Amino acid sequence: RTRIFSGVQPTGHLTLGNYLGAMRRWAEVDQHRAEALFCVVDLHALTVEHDPARVRRLSRQAATLLLASGLDPELCTVFVQSQVDEHLRLSYLMECTASDGEMRRMIQYKEKAAREQARGGSVRLSLLTYPALMAADILAYGTDEVPVGEDQAQHVELTRDLAVRFNQRYGATFVVPRTVTPPVAARVKNLQDPTSKMGKSQDRTAGVVYLLDEPEAVRKKVTRAVTDSEPDVSYEPERRPGVANLLEVLAACAGGDPERLAAGYDSCGALKKDVAEAVVEMLRPVQERHAELAAEPGLVDAVLLAGAERARGLARPRVDAAFEAVGLLPGR
Ligand code: AQP
């Protein structure tokens, strides 16, 4: 069976971008067609300045939202990265496989390092080595496919390079994974800055729709979305990024094709109204289920521990084999 791995970082509240770019497909398609593992990658959240209590709270919330979005522990494995030591063990071997130069070329590193500096903080070494840990996350499980939004594609490319290099140096150990990006909403943009992605740890929160936003907050954010001064509606992503973003969100929520949807509107106001309602309706069942699960934290914790146990069993033989392949003594 095809094996799938993907994850979310507890670096902020999960967004519409996370949902449309990744989570929805994990629940609707991926968990049914493959042996799938979905992970709250909490170690990655330590690569930027963080508050321990907040990371803990966000990790639990992210896991709860994964389950609320429809991931079924009977069908797939949902777990938290730090509860499975194999990720850290393999990460070190990936650091020994990657070069300093290829880490520094990562767009996300450049962007986040600049952001940390602009906020007056220092850049953590782990922000640079982040892709090594991400490669370990993926390769530990013999992953065939990594369903992610476009923003993560470069990291998965690097993971492929590292797998190939490791296999060439030390013998066939890892499966070389493929990136899979969704056909629509691969990159949902910030409503206030439609040339940059909607991200959960960004400062421009007025343009970010969070999965747990109240309907009124969603409506307000969509109504205030930046478009342009043209009165009509057309799908031209390069020239009219704000309008295109709204059409893509509508297409992703309610179905259809952005270009064809555009023909049905003669003003941005009408488009925004429909986008807001489509988002509110899509989020409603997720929020209801989240409320039910959040009332039973013990249940979520038990699901996560069982998931970690299963994940460990899957990862350990391959990570042990990698340790031996590079010349470390057996015996763990
Ligand atoms: N805007 C987006 N559009 C489409 N897909 C997206 N993803 C994230 N943002 C968008 C996808 O969601 C999955 C989880 O990714 P993550 O936790 O690494 O995403 P993030 O929200 O981008 O988190 P960060 O690193 O905290 O981002 P910033 O700093 O930009 O706010 C992935 O599959 C991702 O592709």
Three-state SS for 114-160 is: HHHHHCCCCCCHHHHHHHHHHHHHHHCCCCCEEECCHHHHHHHHHHH
Binding region for L-tryptophan? 137
Query: What's residue 182's pLDDT?
Result: 75
Q: Whose CA is closest to 42, among 103, 83, 78, 92?
A: 83
Asked if 200 is an active-site residue, the reply is yes
Per-residue CA distances from 156 to 92, 132, 135, 179 (Å) = 17, 10, 7, 6
Residue 331 domain-assigned? no
Q: What is the pLDDT of residues 64-99, one digit of tens each?
A: 999 999 999 999 999 999 999 999 999 999 999 999
Residues 121, 96 share a domain: yes
Q: Is the model more confident about 202 or about 93?
A: 93
Query: What's the DSSP call for residue 204?
Result: -
Ligand 1 neighbourhood includes 200 CB (under 6 angstroms): yes
Give the span between the Cα atoms of 270 and 272, in whole angstroms. Answer: 5
Q: Are residues 76 and 214 in the same domain?
A: no
Binding residues: 9-11, 17-18, 137, 149-151, 188, 197-201
In-domain check, residue 332 = no
pLDDT of 332 reads 65
Do residues 265 and 282 touch, judged by C-beta distance below 8 A? no
The CA distance from 58 to 156, in Å, is 24
Mean pLDDT over 154-159 rounds to 97
How many angstroms separate the alpha carbon of residue 244 from the centre of ligand 1? Answer: 19
| 116 within a domain of the structure (yes/no) | yes
ipTM of this predicted complex?
Answer: 0.95
Q: Is the pLDDT of residue 226 over 70?
A: yes
197: amino acid identity, one letter: K
Which tokens sit at 100?
Answer: 């300093």
Q: How far is the CA of 276 from the centre of ligand 1 (A)?
A: 21
- State mean pLDDT over 4-28: 95
Domain identity same for 82 and 167: yes
**86 & 98 share domain:** yes
User: 260-299 b/e with 16+ CB inside 10 Å = b?
Assistant: ebbeebeebeebbebbbbbbbebbeebbebbeebeeeeee
CB of 39 shorter than 6 A to ligand 1:
no
The whole-number average pLDDT for the span 34-54 is 97
Q: Where are the beta strands (DSSP E) in the chain?
A: 3-8, 35-40, 77-80, 145-147, 178-180, 189-190, 193-197
281 and 308 part of one domain: no
Average pLDDT, the chain: 95
Residue type, 26: W
Structural domains of the chain, count: 2
pLDDT recorded at residue 134: 98
Q: 215: domain range?
A: 189-292
Same domain flag for 170 and 305: yes
| 256 assigned to some structural domain | yes
CATH code assigned at 79: 3.40.50.620
Whether 263 and 313 map to the same domain: the answer is no
Q: Is the pLDDT of residue 183 over 90?
A: no
Q: Given pLDDT bands bounded at 50, 70 and 90, which one contains residue 217?
A: very high
188 Cα to the center of ligand 1, angstroms? 9
Q: Which comes out higher in pLDDT, residue 119 or 32? A: 32
Q: Report whether pLDDT(185) > 70.
A: no
Mean of the pLDDT values across residues 270-280?
97
Name the residue among 196, 295, 194 with its Cα closest to residue 241. 194
- For residues 61 and 194, membership in a common domain is answered with no
Would the CB of 182 count as within 6 Å of ligand 1? no
The mean pLDDT of 265-273, rounded to a whole number, is 96
**pLDDT, average across residues 303-312:** 98
Q: Are residues 148 and 239 in the same domain?
A: no
